[in-house]
Structure 1
Amino acid sequence: MSETETFETIRYTADVVVTTTDGYVLLIERGWPPFEGAWALPGGHVDPGETSRIAAARELAEEAGVYVMPEELNQVAVFDAPGRDPRGRYVTVAYHLTVIPGTPIQAGDDAINAQWWPLNDLPPLAFDHAAILDAIATKENR
């Protein structure tokens, strides 16, 4: 009897949680499916030759106009639950950055809007981004 291995296509992404020292988080309004029009963390696919940290910095600049050096981003966790994205299997590495209040933002690339939201009054979030925010809150409260 012969066993056959099956392989699943897995896409690699990076997401960034940017918070201010006075309790706000940066969210983008998605301009494309899935979750078109929903609020989400800045992030996206890791390009060939990139690390997830470099991709996170690039996506943050492209989607929200916030420019940082990759080493300024602190890795929080990896999120790889099956079903976290309706397009298929996605594994994301989440990063965190704290900035001062008033840090300018500007929607770009695939985002139709970028906005600072109070952490205690968030809109419904796309994907599992609420879980990513919870992971950061838990890590910071240790």
Structure 2
Amino acid sequence: MTETETFETIRLTSDVVLLAAGRVLLIERGWDPYEGCWALPGGHVDAGETSLAAASRELVEETGISVPVSNLWQVGTFDTPGRDPRGRYVTVAYAATIPKAVPPMAGDDATAARWWPLTALPPLAFDHADILSAVIGSANPNQ
């Protein structure tokens, strides 16, 4: 008997946890899945792009806030099957801390962007609560 290999399409994304003064920057999603829900800024890694470059780009596109790539540190890879209802998605999460919360401007597929107190978060889309927990429980090697 011969085993048959099966392959599934896996999409790569990047997410960003941006912290400032006890707050985290979130975007309100403009379309499904989770339209109208709050999430971390992030999105697909483009062809020829690193996950780090994608994280930086998506942060600017969705919030108007730019953070130097050198200030982003990798939190980890999140790849639990079923974390995204569209199919198999793997995300590389990054984090950064800035001294104060600067006003965001929603763009791209975000209908809103705002700073939320870490003590009063809305329900988060996908597994973004797990990603945020990983950041809060870790030490930033860049500080």
TM-score category of the 2 structures, normalised to the smaller one: over 0.9
- Aligned equivalent of 1:138: 137
Q: Contact 1:53/1:71 (CA < 8 Å) preserved in 2?
A: no
Equivalent AA in structure 1 for residue 80 of structure 2: A
- Aligned equivalent of 1:9: 9
For 1:132, what is the secondary structure of its paired residue?
helix
| 1:68 lines up with 2:67 in the alignment | yes
Q: Contact 1:63/1:110 (CA < 8 Å) preserved in 2?
A: yes
Equivalent AA in structure 2 for residue 132 of structure 1: I
Identity, % of aligned positions = 66
For 1:139, what is the secondary structure of its paired residue?
coil
| 1:126 lines up with 2:93 in the alignment | no
Gapped regions of structure 1 (runs ≥ 5): none
Q: Contact 1:63/1:108 (CA < 8 Å) preserved in 2?
A: yes
Query: Aligned-residue CA RMSD in angstroms?
Result: 1.1
| 1:54 lines up with 2:53 in the alignment | yes
Runs of 4+ aligned structure 1 residues displaced above 4 Å come to none
Q: Contact 2:101/2:115 (CA < 8 Å) preserved in 1?
A: no
Q: Distance in 2 between matches of 1:116 and 1:87?
A: 27
Gapped regions of structure 2 (runs ≥ 5): none
For 1:140, what is the secondary structure of its paired residue?
coil
Q: Contact 2:10/2:88 (CA < 8 Å) preserved in 1?
A: yes
Per-residue deviation, 1:3 = 1.6
TM-score (norm 1): 0.95
Per-residue deviation, 1:102 = 3.3
TM-score (norm 2): 0.95
For 1:112, what is the secondary structure of its paired residue?
strand
Q: Contact 2:74/2:95 (CA < 8 Å) preserved in 1?
A: yes
Larger deviation: 131-140 or 57-66?
131-140
Equivalent AA in structure 1 for residue 69 of structure 2: P
Aligned length: 140
